[in-house]
């Protein structure tokens, strides 16, 4: 098993850079041809590296997803598990509001059916679980709502936004929701 050719790695990297730029500018709607052009490679090369649009997307935003996982790891060491969960959700919203690509990454994680979208979802799901399980175990959070339920709710709140300054509203909604999750 040879190691990958140098030009292959180079092109892969160029494609990721170009895709990040194009997706940022177009809100994820850019054409793959534009990405290939920008990367200075043929369209065929793009498709060889990333067989579907989603595969490219995910490769671009995998890092974003992993940042969320990282945040959950940090917060999981807190004393107050409900507060940690709340802070995680706030952080999630903040990242979605700030980083152009995150919303697209989440949409894929939730909607996508590709193997790769499943990975994203699993990562987020695990991140959520890490904070959810202690909260339930401590008895301060109701047990009939799963970590995935919460994840999908929060992503849904972010996806279904039309106005410009939506961040404060969603933060408030999350607080309401978490209030509802607390056992009396």
Partner DNA sequence: TTGAAAGCGGAGGGACCCTCCGTATAATTG
Partner DNA sequence: CAATTATACGGAGGGTCCCTCCGCTTTCAA
Residues that bind a copy of itself (CB under 8 A): 110-111, 121, 142, 144-146, 149, 152-153, 155-162, 169, 172-173, 175-181
The listed partner (DNA, a copy of itself, none) that binds 111, CB under 5 to 8 Å by sort, is a copy of itself
Q: Which is nearer to a copy of itself, 43 or 122 (CB)?
A: 122
Rounded alpha-carbon distances, angstroms, from residue 138 to 43, 80, 148: 53, 9, 19
The listed partner (a copy of itself, DNA, none) that binds 70, CB under 5 to 8 Å by sort, is none
**Is residue 179 packed enough to be buried (19+ CB in 10 Å), middle (13-18) or exposed (0-12)?**
exposed
Q: Which is nearer to a copy of itself, 15 or 109 (CB)?
A: 109
Q: Is 45 in the site for DNA (CB under 7 A)?
A: yes
Tokens representing 134? 């202690």
Site of tokens 């994680």: 109
d(CA 83, CA 25): 35
Candidate residues 13, 27, 31, 137; the one interacting with DNA per rule CB under 7 A: 31
Q: Is 149 in the site for DNA (CB under 7 A)?
A: no
The listed partner (a copy of itself, DNA, none) that binds 121, CB under 5 to 8 Å by sort, is a copy of itself
The listed partner (DNA, a copy of itself, none) that binds 160, CB under 5 to 8 Å by sort, is a copy of itself
d(CA 139, CA 152): 22
Count of CB atoms within 10 A of residue 97's CB? 18
Q: Is 86 in the site for DNA (CB under 7 A)?
A: no
Query: Which x/- pattern, by CB under 7 A, does the window 49-78 give for DNA?
Result: x-xxx-------------------------
Q: What is the DSSP string of 90-143?
A: HHHHHHHHHSTTHHHHHHHHHH--SHHHHHHHHHHHHHHHHHHHHHHHTTSB-S
Site of tokens 């050719």: 5
Which residues would be at the binding site for DNA (CB under 7 A)? 1-8, 10-11, 31-33, 40-45, 47-49, 51-53
């Amino acid at each position: 098993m040879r190691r990958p050719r140098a030009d292959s790695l180079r092109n892969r990297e160029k494609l990721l850079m170009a895709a990040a730029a194009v997706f940022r500018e177009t809100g994820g709607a850019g054409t793959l041809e534009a990405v290939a052009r920008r990367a200075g490679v043929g369209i065929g090369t793009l498709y060889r590296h990333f067989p579907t649009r989603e595969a490219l997307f995910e490769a671009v935003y995998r890092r974003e997803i992993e940042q969320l996982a990282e945040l959950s790891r940090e917060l999981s060491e807190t004393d107050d598990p409900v507060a940690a969960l709340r802070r995680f959700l706030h952080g999630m919203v903040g990242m979605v509001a700030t980083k152009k690509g995150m919303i697209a990454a989440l949409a894929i994680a939730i909607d996508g059916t590709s193997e790769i979208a499943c990975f994203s979802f699993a990562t987020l799901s695990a991140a959520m679980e890490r904070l959810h399980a202690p909260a339930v175990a401590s008895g301060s959070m109701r047990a009939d709502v799963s970590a995935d339920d919460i994840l999908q709710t929060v992503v849904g709140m972010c996806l279904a936004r039309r106005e410009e300054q939506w961040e404060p509203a969603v933060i408030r909604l999350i607080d309401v929701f978490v209030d509802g999750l607390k056992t009396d």
